[in-house]
Amino acid sequence: MDQFGPSLTIKLEQTTHTGTDNVSVQTMLPFDTTVTRWALANWVSDLPGFAPPAELRYTSWSFRPLFASLSAQDRFDFPAPFPLVPLAAPGAQLNVSGMLDAGSGAYVRALQGPHGAGFSLLFAGTGGPISQAIAPELVIIRIR
């Protein structure tokens, strides 16, 4: 709603379209674009020291201050000041493995110092390269 206005929920309900087609029709963007922007906004909106582009910002929510306040008030239910804590390591030393469930996302920070040596990213399955038919989408955003 932050990106498409408060009428979005009504538009999604009052149509014959369903599923991802409905979201695409109502937002006038491909579904994967909408979902990718939403996932990125969850991390970069309110990120200290980073000014995200408008399509990656929440306009009516400030999640980081909100969660920090909840954490300060109730450490049992909100143990972290912000629940999204990506794995972080120098790019050349980063090695992530595991299962990426359909429709989910994984947040990882590849840390690279100024003038640092380049590194490569490789997506692979247990049997080698991942099929294009099921390949996850990689989105890279430079924070600093």
- Above 70 in pLDDT, residue 98? yes
109 inside domain: yes
5 inside domain: no
Nearest in space to 35 (alpha carbons), one of 89, 100, 105, 99: 105
140 inside domain: yes
- Among the residue ranges 87-91, 102-106, 107-111, 123-127, the one predicted with the least confidence is 123-127
67 inside domain: no
| Structural domain that includes position 121 | 86-144
Q: With residue 90 as reference, give the H or E element that holds it.
A: strand 87-90
* Model pLDDT, residue 134: 66
- Above 70 in pLDDT, residue 69? yes
20 inside domain: no
131 inside domain: yes
* Model pLDDT, residue 93: 86
* Model pLDDT, residue 135: 64
138 inside domain: yes
28 inside domain: no
Q: Tell me the pLDDT tens digit for each residue of 32-64.
A: 899 889 989 999 989 998 999 999 999 888 999
Within 13 A of 54's CA, how many CA atoms are on the CB side?
2
- Above 90 in pLDDT, residue 133? no
Q: How far is residue 8's CA from residue 15's CA, in Å, rounded to a whole number? A: 11
Q: Would you place residue 94 in the very low, low, confident or very high pLDDT band (cuts 50, 70, 90)?
A: confident
Q: How far is residue 92's CA from residue 127's CA, in Å, rounded to a whole number? A: 22
CB 26 within 8 A of CB 4: yes
Phi and psi dihedrals of 124, rounded to 5? -145, 150
* Model pLDDT, residue 117: 85
Instruction: Count up the domains in the chain and report the number.
Output: 1
- Above 70 in pLDDT, residue 118? yes
